[in-house]
Amino acid sequence: MFNLNSLLSPLAWRWYLLGALVILLIRIILTAKRRLPPKAAIIITPLCLMIIVLALGIILLPQPQLLSPKLPLFSPLNLDPATPLVLRFNRPISRRLSAALQPQAAGVWRFGRGAYGPFPDRLLFYPDQPLDPNLEYTLNLHQILPLSWVNLEAQAQSLLFVFKPLAVTAADLSGLRLSDQLTPILTPSLSPTPNPTPQPESESFRLPVPLFKQHHTFTCYTVAAKMALAYRDVTVDEVGFLDEIGYQTVKRNYLTNNWGNPNLGVVGTFNGAGDGGYGAHWQPVAEAISHYRAVEVKQNWPLSDLLRTVKAGNPVMVWWVNGVWPAKDVSWNTPEGPVYTVNGMHVEVVTGYLGTPDQPQSILTNDPWRGQRRYPPDVFLSLWRWFNQTAVIVY
């Protein structure tokens, strides 16, 4: 219910802003009817009324309700140690919402957008490691408020529930789609099981490769090269390095399925504007890196050899799929002939491993998009096989 005391709160500016907006729009409607041609007034009046209704809707949104939380069930190409736990609401939520997971799990909480345009309607947790399927996790949500909560501050809700993640392996996921969902098991108990004693790793190795984040949608490969070269004390620019790789000038033709050749240079734009974006494959990138350091391209490369190369002190760039978008063959024609391309192409730098090169438990990478990552071997290989286990060693 609306509370008049809220008009005296520090957040009352929202109501004053709404009132000023309504007065302004009414003034515009009246002015349009007096001074503008009838046709213009007919257009402006309903437009202003729609804005007023939209503003009222945002201000007066009722309390968000949490929908059943879901753990995404991914295909083998999308099974990822940082798979998010998705908490979806039935309407936009305030960014005052906070969450706490017990037992504590290292990771990052982020707001996500869905059906409401720029307004968040979900909260996602990206764990640094998979949640333990043998534990029950208690999740506390505090300050569940709508997008505009000036008159609902006293009604801020908290929610507590317990779930147990299911163990999912790549072998279990054959034939499943990205859209498939798995609902966590909700249990009545609120007492989480104590953490088991962690077993010591047989070996741990990581190269001190600097981590840089990409600032554009289609520059993962230049930022990966920037990281590998920075380890060798060479500095390159995220966008400037595109010019060193060289652009393909062939315009995209959707009717004939023609575009540039990523085996020869950069296809599309770095931000996806114009014809869209794709990027470049290993050969032109390796040639650009060779202006600064020795490089070697490997294909159909065994994982154990890759890890031994990293242990020898050499960062390795891998071409694969990002594991987020559904991977599929999107090959097109080029002046040189058909070229194999994959939706979701991505490049990361392998920096180390846990276990041994012959029997790794996890592979460590620097991801220009998502930061430092850790992949189980079967997941790593399932992503890497899309590009025939291709890599570039930077010596």
**Per-residue pLDDT tens digits for 314-362:** 999 999 998 877 788 889 999 999 999 998 899 999 999 999 999 999 9
CATH of domain 71-186: 2.60.40
71-186 and 204-394: identical CATH topology? no
Q: Is the dihedral of CA 313, 315, 320, 326 positive or negative?
A: positive
Can you identify the CATH homologous superfamily of domain 204-394? Cysteine proteinases (3.90.70.10)
Q: Is the dihedral of CA 88, 153, 63, 20 positive or negative?
A: negative
Q: Are 186 and 343 in contact (CB under 8 A)?
A: no
Positions of the chain with pLDDT lower than 70, given as ranges = 1-18, 29, 32-34, 36, 39-41, 52-63, 67-84, 113-117, 133-134, 136-137, 146-202
Residue 207: the pLDDT is 96
Residue 168: the pLDDT is 44
Strands 185-186, 157-164: pairing kind: antiparallel
**If we measure between CA atoms, which residue out of 384, 393, 386 comes closest to residue 297?**
393
Q: What residue segments make up the domains of the chain, in order of their start?
A: 4-59, 71-186, 204-394
Which positions ≥6 away from 75 have C-beta within 8 Å? 173, 176, 177, 178, 326
Residue 170: the pLDDT is 42
Output phi, psi for 42, to 5 deg.
-65, -35
Residue 295: the pLDDT is 96
Residue 336: the pLDDT is 94
Residue 238: the pLDDT is 94
